[in-house]
Amino acid sequence: MTLEAFVRHEPRIPSKPGEPWPEEWEDEWSGDALFFLTREDPDEAWAVGLELLAVSADPGWAATIGAFIVEDLLHDHGDEFMDRIEAEATKNEQLKMALPTTRWMVPGHLVSRVSVAAGSYWNQKC
């Protein structure tokens, strides 16, 4: 249910300055649920993030999941998740595309590992 709600909700989030916010936020709770999961149940947040990455091959979607889930996991649980992220990135192009959007919250001691996991995507504009 959370996955479906977030897939409906995400396109309504303004992505550029000056874009209007929607009048109705029927699925807004899904973003809150993802935020809660990254704090309280990071293993579940990781599973949901991987499922959401599998939904679309769009690099913009990957960036959204990077900013909503992977960034918080790295910030709050980076040492615990770094090995998983590196292993998954070797076979998951969407995760590689998501990693550059995490750059502002990656703990300093993990930046080089995240950039290697992201490969050539790390140097692209987010």
- 44 close to 32: Cβ distance less than 8 angstroms: no
- Supply the range of the domain harboring residue 112: 2-9+27-123
Q: How many CB atoms lie within 10 A of CB 115?
A: 16
Residue 14 falls inside a structural domain = no
Residues of the chain with pLDDT under 50: none
pLDDT score recorded for residue 50: 95
Residue 69 falls inside a structural domain = yes
pLDDT in tens, 43-56: 999 999 999 999 88
pLDDT score recorded for residue 43: 97
Residue 15 falls inside a structural domain = no
pLDDT score recorded for residue 10: 67
Residue 78 falls inside a structural domain = yes
For residue 58, the one-letter residue type is: D
Cα 9 to Cα 57, 68, 78: the distances in Å are 18, 12, 27
pLDDT score recorded for residue 16: 65
Residue 117 falls inside a structural domain = yes
- 85 close to 117: Cβ distance less than 8 angstroms: yes
pTM (two decimals): 0.82
Domain count, the chain: 1
Residue 17 falls inside a structural domain = no
pLDDT score recorded for residue 40: 94
